Amino acid sequence: MTRWVIDCSFAAALFLPDKASARVHEFFRTAAEPYEFSVPTLWWYELTNVIAMAERRKILKDAQIDSIIELFGKFPLKTDASFGLPFAHRIYEISRTYGLSSYDASYLELALRIHAPMATLDKQLTQAAEACGIAIYR
């Protein structure tokens, strides 16, 4: 099984116009079983926040919201629910070492822990992942 850690910026390009949208669509179109997309619990909060903000800004219509959320139910998503003091220490160390937000550090921590490549559109997270030897989808 091939695992990928996908961050919110990458997933959001599926339903929000972005210069990388075609590349993101291609990734999900060609990723077939036995793939697994791993996300930290935070991903769900970030994703729904992006959707809510896009709706408020009139980028998305109410009628699109359910189908967007349901779209992610079609992917082999595995939510990692790590938490607690040791987890907080790892997130903090990654954040401090690479100058990342704790949110972005949670994706990198997951990729490092499960030895998985990452799919992200975030440049700073890409640089940090590459510095750690984590492959990035291009």
Cis amide prior to 34 (ω within 30 degrees): yes
> 2-6 and 118-119: which strand pairing?
parallel
DSSP per-residue string spanning 89-131: HHHHHHHHHHT--HHHHHHHHHHHHHT--EE---HHHHHHHHH
Cα–Cα distance list, 107 to 22, 65, 99 (Å): 23, 25, 14
pLDDT tens for the chain, 138 residues long, are 689 999 999 999 999 988 888 999 888 887 766 789 999 999 999 999 999 999 999 999 988 999 998 888 888 899 999 899 999 999 999 999 999 999 999 999 999 999 999 999 999 999 999 999 999 998
Per domain, the residue ranges of the chain are: 2-131
DSSP per-residue string spanning 7-68: -HHHHHTTTS--TTHHHHHHHHHH--SSEEEEEETHHHHHHHHHHHHHHHTTSS-HHHHHHH
- The pLDDT assigned to 71 comes to 87
- The pLDDT assigned to 120 comes to 96
Tell me the two tokens of residue 126: 């890409």
- The pLDDT assigned to 35 comes to 82
Protein fold of 2-131: Rossmann fold (3.40.50)
Tell me the two tokens of residue 130: 């590459």
Rounded to an integer, what distance in angstroms lies between the CA atom of residue 110 and that of residue 49?
21
